[in-house]
Structure 1
Amino acid sequence: MKKIITIQHTESVHHNNGMIGSLTDWELSERGHQQAQRLANRLAQTINSEKWKIYTSDLKRAYQTAEYLAKELDLSLQLQPELRERDLGEAVGKSVEWFKERLTPEKTVYDRLISTAESRSDKWKRLTPLVKAINESHENNIVLVSHGDCLSIFYAIWLGLSVEDLTKINLYGEPGGVSFLYDDGQKKSIRRLSDMSFVMD
């Protein structure tokens, strides 16, 4: 049985300052650090009977979240640039207000919110080799720490959906949400999606 736990990074500075996240390298907020510590404490109690490998986005808000769990489990982190959030092009470093004034709503997975941004299809292509490597690896217990849009695309690839399915569905999560994925070799299942109990006060 292959088990994958995904963690959407906890509250970041950009969640409160009106700025775009994407590839801008925001740190966790004070509350985000507190959430990450609670998450690590609680999740470690649940999974520390097994050996885990932790992969994390190399953006600060993700690997800062991952560091708390790595410390609890006495593990090192493997940085994976593929787990970065979707690139929003010239919107990176800009305000949400700036972005909203210029975006075009995505009607299909191939559309771009602005002309210089990645489409969800682009992100799919960038993420697919990592999903394939995880599926084929001999590691049976894996933690992935990443970002909301990236994880929603990861789930779709992992479940074997087509890229066009992302035009119709979105497997949405919240900051600090923990999801549990299982693959017994015949069937893949998501038993909990964006469980927020690990970060709640």
Structure 2
Amino acid sequence: MRKYILGELSKMKTIITIHHTQSVHHTNGMVGSWTDWDLTELGINQAINIGKKLQQELSGRAFIMYTSDLKRSKQTADHIAAYLGLKPILRNELRERNLGKCCGKSVHWLKENMELQEKTVDDRLFSDAESRRDVWNRLKPFFNEIMTNNERNIIIVSHGDLLSVFYAMFMSLEAESLNHSEIFGLPGGVSYLHENETGKRIIKKISDMSYIK
């Protein structure tokens, strides 16, 4: 009986996802994607506020933190980690979707020059861009890793499009579900996801913006 209880407890996980805070590309009309934008001064303050609030909420609990290696996500993670005593682990699987040739261009340029309007997970805005299925396939090994290892408390700092895919995976949906529905978050949003002792997955909080204030 004791072995059974320990085995069940080992399945329990808390995953906190954080959408990186305000970046320069949010203010200058440029595409984010696989480009390295710094946080704005507001974005830095937002990340600090998230760190302070999580420090209070997570007191006494050991967490591990993963972050996209793109600058806006890494900077968000670094500011938050300073309050939690963590060292973020960079994972390029957590990068935002690669939009190909529009990287380095404005959002206006993207809209004027897109090669294909996306309707399914297999469509690409540009021939050299990732589809959402490409992102799914890139993320899946990392997702399987964290859901099957012994890490019980995890923080993930990433990007909006990537996290939409992550949430669908967490709810045990197929990639095709993104053709007709998704969970959309905002920069600085904090979400709480849990897997309980029976393996049931629960989203308890989604894109909570109160943390940035």
State the TM-score bracket (shorter-chain normalisation). Answer: over 0.9
Which contiguous aligned blocks of 4+ residues in structure 1 show a shift greater than 4 angstroms?
Answer: none
Matching of residue 102 in structure 1 with residue 113 in structure 2: yes
Structure 1 residue ranges without an equivalent (≥5): none
Fraction of identical pairs, as percent = 51
SS at 1:125 equivalent: helix
Equivalent-residue separation in structure 1 for 2:71 and 2:56 (angstroms): 25
Equivalent-residue separation in structure 1 for 2:185 and 2:78 (angstroms): 21
Equivalent-residue separation in structure 2 for 1:85 and 1:186 (angstroms): 28
Matching of residue 136 in structure 1 with residue 148 in structure 2: yes
RMSD: 0.8
Counterparts of 1:17-56 in structure 2 under 5 Å? 17-56=28-67
Equivalent-residue separation in structure 2 for 1:186 and 1:84 (angstroms): 27
TM-score by length of structure 1 reads 0.97
Mean Cα deviation higher: 51-60 or 152-161: 152-161
Equivalent-residue separation in structure 2 for 1:137 and 1:55 (angstroms): 14
SS at 1:16 equivalent: helix
Matching of residue 189 in structure 1 with residue 209 in structure 2: no
Equivalent-residue separation in structure 2 for 1:193 and 1:165 (angstroms): 18
Instruction: Supply the AA of the counterpart residue of 1:191.
Output: K
Counterparts of 1:1-201 in structure 2 under 5 Å? 1-103=12-114, 104-184=116-196, 185-200=198-213
Instruction: Supply the AA of the counterpart residue of 2:101.
Output: E
Equivalent-residue separation in structure 2 for 1:45 and 1:58 (angstroms): 26
**Bigger CA radius of gyration:** 2
TM-score by length of structure 2 reads 0.92
SS at 1:190 equivalent: strand
